[in-house]
């Protein structure tokens, strides 16, 4: 074997363009490396010389440009328009206080845009930190050993190990390949996987089959390549493409927010223009009605909505990260909430992915695993040499596929794996494929002969065998004996074991053999079910979510595990569909089967997952799909919510919307709960902030229709929307889910944020109560001060200033009751502890502080035209606050206990 390259020798950082054409020996000499790769010291020196293996990122959109983008949303444009009108009104009629309105509106836009920008910037940083946690790695030969390193550490001259599901970390030339196929579409656009070879097959490097390129994907097989280009010198680097670049796609929540903004803005413009015209016709006062129109528009715009939504999503993604679920796109959090079907991989998701050999059957009897009885040497040999995993000092004792790894750990108890693999060097490999369900290697024996070693699914291998080895003697494998063996492996499968069969034959030449094998035995590996999976599945069923198990295991094994994790019970027998049955099914037949409560897919190829996803989606389901392999990627990408395992392939992770760091099914269920909570909370604070729109709008309507002194000016509206309402709305955004949130059926994907029920609650029940409280307090002050109906008051009149202060105070007091009752949508507020969300208490404290400041501080009195009022006027609003609380509690009671019609009418 070649030794690691000596240090401090010359090499080239950049490609010459002929690496595919020169001989392998010339290339190795040019790169000053060997088949065993580089030493760690030499690799570090080369990294210092050539730089890290990262692509130069395109220039990102500047922060300044991102900031100014916040000024072009519909709400900001409306408020800027209002500010411009106020400046115009001040110019036409100075000294009427319009300058304060103009400055206030402009300040609102600046503050709101700045807050939204900060939230989005922080959210972007959170997403970047998540991406760093998912940074690609590569297996490299360093100091003669295969080690796993960040892909950025790869240098020219490194020998990298590639296998199915890997993303190629740098440009390289193959030195070993076994049935290797590569998806070159990131470079060439060719979607069809390209077969690789060790020979130069084309003068063009991109077309030559002995090359692999950075950012391309290994579809099948495995191999090793020597790196000759890294970072920006790679083919993809020269094309200036970003591997991490994502396409901006509008998520459902973003579409919903845009829809909400348009509706509210349309209402604001319609009311503003309509009442401007009505007021002008009644009073014929242009300026007064202009101010009125501004007030109507400002009163309708929930200025704090967009930053609060971003904050809610950002906080949810942080909470999910703490629970081992990394969201790749912030707004995908909400998509989880509408999931109706979860398609889960068995291995590692419902089970612990801790494979251990549980039983070995030799064709005549079982080996006593507990007493370390040694199995036949041939079974150990096949388990060791027909295997692509490798032993490791780290838990669980191996690196690679868990089933193969468990075989190495078991065989290592009886023989030296490294010595065995050296004695039987591999000449050719025919990798495991989900279609053929077997792996075969051709090895040279110490005697100089060649043998073919085979392992795979028992039903496949039995068909390829015509003889059996029993107690060291080869006998004919009769049909009767085959039936006995079938019964034996089915019994093992019923214990929940993953069964592998072993066989071998003499190989006359190096090629893949299909028959005349000698059967050696079975092994059964147990992957224990996750203890938390059963409760998580029960939680899904209570939440109206269907759980579907998909596995490549034997149907009997799959059924055994499904019973352990609670997928089937006495009431509902699970429907079992095997891969071959799925292949033969028509769409109509499959659609009927998918209506079952519990479904298990066994002996299913990863490619069939896409068919399953599309079938569920055609039936109107919202599908969350989990997977870890390269062939899972199409199904993960096409699912409404794609989930990849943290231990899975780079290809699967790239296709997914979310990555599970712990590969745990319970984490998916927690994420669904978080998604439901986010949507609930957004609706809660929308209903909360819309409620105060009514007491903000009605004063202007009363001002026009009844010629009253304006009960609440624009400055006070802004004080509510961007002062007193902000912290309580944020508190609702971080509210924990209600106790029944995972007992409700999934919400419809067509459900809107702004529904007739939300409008009825805010504009039809709670809003009018707040407005009534405001008008009662307002008139109490006026009549108490000797005012008579029809009498006009100057804006500077102390009585007028006290009256609007009383109106403002009444709205704030009612909003305090509103924030308490808004903490739940369906359940009674009394199910929540007052101290379970301390942010609500902080929000209420902020409301009272702002209210006190507005009433008693001279500076606030001057800016907002307020004045101090006696305490008895403040108490007038308390009965209305209690009425609001009681009315909403009654509404929730009817939702929980009333008829379906009443629940639908009153529910959000």
Exposure b/e, 712-745, CB count within 10 A at least 16 = b: bbbbbbbbbbbbbbbbbbbbbbbbeebeebbeee
Could you tell me where the DSSP H helices lie in 692-766? 693-705, 714-719, 726-733, 756-759
CA distance 275 to 258: 26
Does residue 797 have an active-site annotation?
A: no
User: Which among 509, 511, 524, 505 is positioned nearest to 382, based on CA atoms?
Assistant: 505
Q: What is the CA radius of gyration of the chain?
A: 35
d(C-alpha 509, C-alpha 491), whole Å: 37
CA-CA distance, 331 to 334, in Å (whole number)? Answer: 6
DSSP state of 831: G
Written in H, E and C, the secondary structure of 327-366 is ECCCCHHHHHHHCCEEEEEHHHHHECCCCEEEEEECCCCE
* CA-to-CA separations, 266 to 269, 304, 682, 754, in angstroms, rounded: 5, 18, 21, 14
Rounded Cα distance, 313 and 733, in Å: 9
- What is the DSSP secondary structure assignment for residue 65, as one 8-state letter? H
Both structure tokens of 786: 């000797």
Spatial contact of 622 and 340, defined as CB atoms under 8 Å apart: yes
Would the CA dihedral through 89, 95, 100, 101 be positive or negative? negative
H helices present in 286-341, as ranges: 286-300, 305-322, 332-335
Tell me the three state secondary structure of residue 403: helix
- Report the candidate in 681, 683, 688 with the shortest Cα–Cα distance to residue 737: 681
Cα dist. 561→21, 356, 565 in Å? 53, 16, 6
Q: Are strands 426-430 and 438-444 parallel, antiparallel or unpaired?
A: antiparallel
Q: Where are the alpha helices (DSSP H) in 511-574?
A: 533-542, 555-565
Determine the distance from the C-alpha atom of residue 175 to the mean position of all C-alpha atoms in its chain, rounded to a whole number: 38
Q: How far apart are CA 740 and CA 422, in angstroms?
A: 61
The torsion angles phi and psi of 325, rounded to 5 degrees, stand at -120, 115
Quote the crossing angle between the two packed helices 286-300 and 693-705, to the nearest 10°.
Answer: 160
- Cα(847)–Cα(841) distance, integer angstroms: 10
Q: Which residue has the tokens 């700045």?
A: 114
User: What is the token pair recorded at 867?
Assistant: 């004045």
Task: Enter the DSSP assignment of 95.
Answer: T
CB-CB contact of 668 with 660 (8 Å): yes
- Environment class of 94 (CB within 10 Å of its CB; exposed 0-12, middle 13-18, buried 19+): exposed
Q: Are 702 and 794 in contact (CB under 8 A)?
A: no
Q: Is 869 left (phi over 0), alpha (psi -120 to 50) or beta?
A: beta
Which entry of 158, 166, 171, 345 is annotated as an active-site residue?
A: 345
Computed from CA positions of residues 683, 689, 692, 696, in that sequence, does the dihedral angle turn out positive or negative?
negative
Written as six digits, the tokens of 619 are 């039936």
Least Cα distance to 642 among 605, 597, 610 occurs for 610
Structure token digits, residue 18: 């002929």
**In the numeric block, which tokens belong to residue 173?**
């030339």
**Whole-angstrom Cα distance, residue 71 to residue 80?**
9
Distances (CA, A) of 244 to 131, 317, 645, 650: 9, 19, 18, 12
Q: Which residues have a catalytic role annotated? A: 345
């Amino acid at each position: 074997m070649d030794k690691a390259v000596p240090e401090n020798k010359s090499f080239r950082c950049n490609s010459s363009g002929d690496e595919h054409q020169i001989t392998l020996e010339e290339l190795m000499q040019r790169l000053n490396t060997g088949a065993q790769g580089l030493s760690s010291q030499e690799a570090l020196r080369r990294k210092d010389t050539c730089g890290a293996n990262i692509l130069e990122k395109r220039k990102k959109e500047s922060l300044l440009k991102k900031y100014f983008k916040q000024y072009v949303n519909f709400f900001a444009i409306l408020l800027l328009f209002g500010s411009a009108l106020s400046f115009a009104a001040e110019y036409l009629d100075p000294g009427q206080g319009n300058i304060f309105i103009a400055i206030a509106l402009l300040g609102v836009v600046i503050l709101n845009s700045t807050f939204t920008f900060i939230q989005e910037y922080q959210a972007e940083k959170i997403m970047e930190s998540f991406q760093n946690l998912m940074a690609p790695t590569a297996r490299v030969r360093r100091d003669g050993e295969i080690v796993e390193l960040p892909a950025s550490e790869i240098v020219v001259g490194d020998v990298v190990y590639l296998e199915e599901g890997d993303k190629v970390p740098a440009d390289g030339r193959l030195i070993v390949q076994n049935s290797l196929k590569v998806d070159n579409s990131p470079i060439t656009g060719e979607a069809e996987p390209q077969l690789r070879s060790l020979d130069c097959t084309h003068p063009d490097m991109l077309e030559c089959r002995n090359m692999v390129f950075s950012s391309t994907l290994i579809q099948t097989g495995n191999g090793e390549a020597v790196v000759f280009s890294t970072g920006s010198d790679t083919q993809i680097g020269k094309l200036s493409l970003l591997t991490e670049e994502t396409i901006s796609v509008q998520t459902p929540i973003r579409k919903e927010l845009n829809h909400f903004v348009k509706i509210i803005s349309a209402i604001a413009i319609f009311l503003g223009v309509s009442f401007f015209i009505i007021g002008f016709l009644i009073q014929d006062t242009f300026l007064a009605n202009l101010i009125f129109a501004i007030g109507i528009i400002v009163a309708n715009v929930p200025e704090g909505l967009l930053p609060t939504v971003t904050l809610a999503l950002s906080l949810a993604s942080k909470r999910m990260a703490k629970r081992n679920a990394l969201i790749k796109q912030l707004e995908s959090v909400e998509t989880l909430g509408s999931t109706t079907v979860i398609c889960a991989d068995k291995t590692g998701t419902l089970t612990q992915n801790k494979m251990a050999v549980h039983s070995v059957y030799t064709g005549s009897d079982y080996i006593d695993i507990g007493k370390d009885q040694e199995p036949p040497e041939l079974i150990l040999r096949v388990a060791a040499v027909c295997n692509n995993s490798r032993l490791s000092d780290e838990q669980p004792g191996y690196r690679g596929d868990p089933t193969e790894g468990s075989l190495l750990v078991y065989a290592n108890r009886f023989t030296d794996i490294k010595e065995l693999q050296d004695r039987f060097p591999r000449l050719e490999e025919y990798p495991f494929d989900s279609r053929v369900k077997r792996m075969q290697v051709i090895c040279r024996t110490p005697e100089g002969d060649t043998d073919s070693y085979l392992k795979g699914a028992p039903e496949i291998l039995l068909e390829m065998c015509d003889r059996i080895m029993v107690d060291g003697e080869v006998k004919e494998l009769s049909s009767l004996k085959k039936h006995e063996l079938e019964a034996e492996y089915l019994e093992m499968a019923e214990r929940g074991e993953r069964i592998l069969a072993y066989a071998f034959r003499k190989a006359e030449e190096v090629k893949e053999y299909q028959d005349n094998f000698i059967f050696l035995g079975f092994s059964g590996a147990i992957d224990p079910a996750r203890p938390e999976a059963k409760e998580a599945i029960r939680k899904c069923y209570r939440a109206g979510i269907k759980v579907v198990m998909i596995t490549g295991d034997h149907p009997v094994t799959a059924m055994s595990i499904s019973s352990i994790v609670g997928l089937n019970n006495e009431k509902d027998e699970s429907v079992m569909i095997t891969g071959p049955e799925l292949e033969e099914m028509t769409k109509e037949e499959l659609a009927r089967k998918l209506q079952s409560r519990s479904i298990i897919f066994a002996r299913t190829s990863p490619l069939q997952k896409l068919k399953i996803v599309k079938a569920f989606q055609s039936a109107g389901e919202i599908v969350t799909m989990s997977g870890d392999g390269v062939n899972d990627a199409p199904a993960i990408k096409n699912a409404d919510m794609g989930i990849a395992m943290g231990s899975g392939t780079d290809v699967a992770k790239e296709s997914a919307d979310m990555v599970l760091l712990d590969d745990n099914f319970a984490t998916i269920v927690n994420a669904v709960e978080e998604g439901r909570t986010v949507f609930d909370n957004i609706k809660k604070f929308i209903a909360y902030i819309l409620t105060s729109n009514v007491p903000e709008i009605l004063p202007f309507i009363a001002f026009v229709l009844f010629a009253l002194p304006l009960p609440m000016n624009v400055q006070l509206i802004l004080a509510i929307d961007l002062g007193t309402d902000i912290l309580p709305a944020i508190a609702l955004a971080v509210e924990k889910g209600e106790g029944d949130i995972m007992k409700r059926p999934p919400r419809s994907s067509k459900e809107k944020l702004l529904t007739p029920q939300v409008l009825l609650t805010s504009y039809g029940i709670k809003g009018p109560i707040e407005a009534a409280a405001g008008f009662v307090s307002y008139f109490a002050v006026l009549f108490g001060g000797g005012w008579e109906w029809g009498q006009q008051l100057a804006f500077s009149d102390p009585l007028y200033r006290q009256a609007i202060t009383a109106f403002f105070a009444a709205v704030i007091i009612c909003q305090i009751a509103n924030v308490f009752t808004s903490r739940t949508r369906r359940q009674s507020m009394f199910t929540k502890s007052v101290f379970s969300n301390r942010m609500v208490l902080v929000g209420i404290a902020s409301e009272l502080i702002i209210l006190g400041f507005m009433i008693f501080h001279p500076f606030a009195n001057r800016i907002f035209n307020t004045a101090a009022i006696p305490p008895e006027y403040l108490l007038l609003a308390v009965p209305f606050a209690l009425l609001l609380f009681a009315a909403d509690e009654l509404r929730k009671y009817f939702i929980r206990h009333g008829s379906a019609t009443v629940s639908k009418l009153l529910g959000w």
